[in-house]
Each structure stands twice: as structure tokens, then as C-alpha cells.
Structure 1
């Protein structure tokens, strides 16, 4: 049974998609051990409580330095002995020590087709604003392992979504969530939980 920690900062729509997928059997052989947020007002924490999942808030604001926060954050995470860390809209830079400790055991969802519209400065609505400003016809979402770079880790799954000419950033954001994020994040977790994902030379291989 793969034990998950899901890290969130806001509403928790991807968390909800993961919980629903576990409940309906789309994700097998996995359970959420803890939901961690850096924001005590995150609605994602309420979603976790309603689902009977342990939740905890650990915020950089409560520490005198980022280094102190990083140490405590990693210690808190370690205490749950999870197998996979899922970043589901987590707006905190992951400490390098945590990346090393959890190499190829941290996954993130990004709302574009990496390597387009990703990296420093591209998060939330800014991604979709960038897509519309450039005028591309196809966008989507990417699930990838986290490494020391920003959105540079090995790609696990991607799914394309059509951009429509009258889209606003908000409308496009919703379509990418519904048609890509909420589908490929649960699928990636299921693949990992069932031993079907390996990483070799910076590339992901998915085994039948």
C-alpha cells in the first residue's frame, strides 16, 4: 500500500480528485496518510477533515528563517513515513534536502505542456495568461517528478487540452483542470502505486 502525503496551498481541487479516485477505484493500492498545507486558511484542509484524513499546517511565517522552516517541514514529513509526496498546488519552494531525501518520490502537477509555459514565474493563472498571450492552440497539463530545478524533473504523464479563441485565463484554467489535471494526476499515482514507473537517465518509463 503506497502511503501518500499531499501538499496543498489553496482550494484543493486536485486533492479532491485524488480522494475521489481512491474512493472509486481509479487509484488502487494507495492511501493518503496526511495532507500538509502552508496556509492555515486553505480549504484543502477542510476537504481532508471531511474525508477523515489527518491534516496539518506548517507555515514559513511561523519560523524565524526559511532554513528553520525547511528543517521542520522535512522533519514533519519524515514523521509520517510516506512513500510518495504529491504537490497539488503547493506554492512553496521545496527544500533541496527534501528533494535529495525523496529523490523520484515527489510528484507535481503543472498546468501546461512542459517545457512550454513553465519555470520561474509560471504558476496559477499566470500560466494560462501566458498561453493566451502567445496565441497557442493547444495547452494541457503535465505530471512530473520534482528535481532541483523549476518544472525540470522527469515527465510522467501529459494530456493536451484545446485552447478556444474566446477563452479567458479563468475559463481556460477550469478546462485544463477538468480535462487534464484531474485525470492524469490520479493516473500517475496509480501507476506509481502499482510499480509501473521507473526513472532511467532522466526519463520515465511506464511498464505494462
Structure 2
């Protein structure tokens, strides 16, 4: 039975598009829904262009979460993937998808995680701290930003001449190569 994935994203949606395209070729799962908390998020255009239903919900809906949980259930969502989603997921959605909701973070957690640490802010902090390596962390989502159980980490070097943009490019390559495969593995061999 093919599993339905929902992707939650707040920005341009490059990771979301990568995940959608990856699962278009798979029999194990498909991206059945994309949700965002930003009305002008480009992820909406990407999802529409790939034929995936997508919806925007305002901040008030994300605070209570009841409407969103109803939509997830309507679409028979089995697994939730955060891909650059910049809002806190309400507790009752977290509980409804316990061990079935994951996030990706652009550093080696627990370093450089937490509220407000996303995108270039993370890469700037990594470089400013003089770190020799960075990478990605894929983890389960819980009530605290970037504190869920770690599923996997993939490392890359931080080079002396790195700018946040250069480091971000290497991190994006790791995300695009790793995230869909980890999602697939989790869906095919659930806990």
C-alpha cells in the first residue's frame, strides 16, 4: 500500500521539490500534500507545477492546529516531512504523528540549532565559531526546536575560505542526496 507524505515548507521549496520528484518514481510513497505557513512561499508554485495539492494556512491555524490536523487526515497522510518549515508544529499534530514526522537541519545538531537558527543564520554561526566541519541532521520532530531524536547526520568540511553561501551550497547537496532516501527508508521499515 502506497504511503501518503505531507511536506511542510515555508520558503522557496527546493527540498520539497526534490522530495516530490524522488517519490514520483517510487511505489512505496508519494507526496500527496504540501502545506505552508507563508502565503507567498514559492513552494506553492513548485508543488502546483508538479501537480501536488498545496495549501496555505495563516498563523492562527498553526497555533491551534485543529484545522491542519483535519486536512492531514482528509488526505490520509501517513508521514510528515518538514523541509524548511519555520513555524512550531502544534502538540496535537506532533502526537498524532509521533515517530512519523521528521525534520532536516543544516548543521550537526545539537550545535547551531534551536529557535531562530535556520538557513544562512546557521552557516554564519558555524563559520564565526571556527568550526572545521558542518553538515546536516535529520531528526524526529518533537515539542522543542531541533531537539528530537537524531536519525542520521552527514558531514562536510568547513573550508577556511568559506562564505555562508559557499557552505550552504555544500549543505544543499547533502540535503538533496540524503533526505529523500532517509524518508524512503523510514516509510519502508517503520519503527
Q: Give the TM-score taking structure 1 as reference length.
A: 0.85
Deviations 1:173-198 (A, max 9, x none): 121011x1112210111101211x53
Displaced runs of 4+ in structure 1, greater than 6 A?
A: none
Distance 1:175 1:36 in 2: 27
| Matched-pair contact (CA < 8 Å) for 1:143–1:184 | no
Deviation at 1:120, TM superposition (A): 2.5
Aligned residues: 190
1:136 to 131, 136, 139: 131
1:40-79 paired onto structure 2 within 5 Å = 40-60=39-59, 63=60, 67-68=63-64, 70-79=65-74
Provide closer, same or farther for how the CA distance between residues 157 and 73 of structure 1 changes in structure 2, counting only shifts above 3 A: same
1:29 equivalent to 2:28? Answer yes
1:104 to 99, 107, 122: 99
Provide closer, same or farther for how the CA distance between residues 66 and 106 of structure 1 changes in structure 2, counting only shifts above 3 A: closer
Deviation at 1:77, TM superposition (A): 2.2
Deviation at 1:45, TM superposition (A): 0.8
Provide closer, same or farther for how the CA distance between residues 54 and 153 of structure 1 changes in structure 2, counting only shifts above 3 A: same
Deviation at 1:100, TM superposition (A): 1.1
Distance 2:31 2:104 in 1: 17
- Show the counterpart of 1:201: none
Distance 1:182 1:55 in 2: 21
| Structure 2 stretches lacking a partner, 5+ long | none
RMSD value over aligned CA atoms?
1.6
Deviation at 1:104, TM superposition (A): 0.6
- Show the counterpart of 1:163: 158
- Show the counterpart of 1:145: 140
Deviation at 1:78, TM superposition (A): 2.4
Partner of 2:15: helix, strand, or coil? helix
1:38 equivalent to 2:37? Answer yes
Q: Give the TM-score taking structure 2 as reference length.
A: 0.93
| Matched-pair contact (CA < 8 Å) for 1:99–1:148 | yes
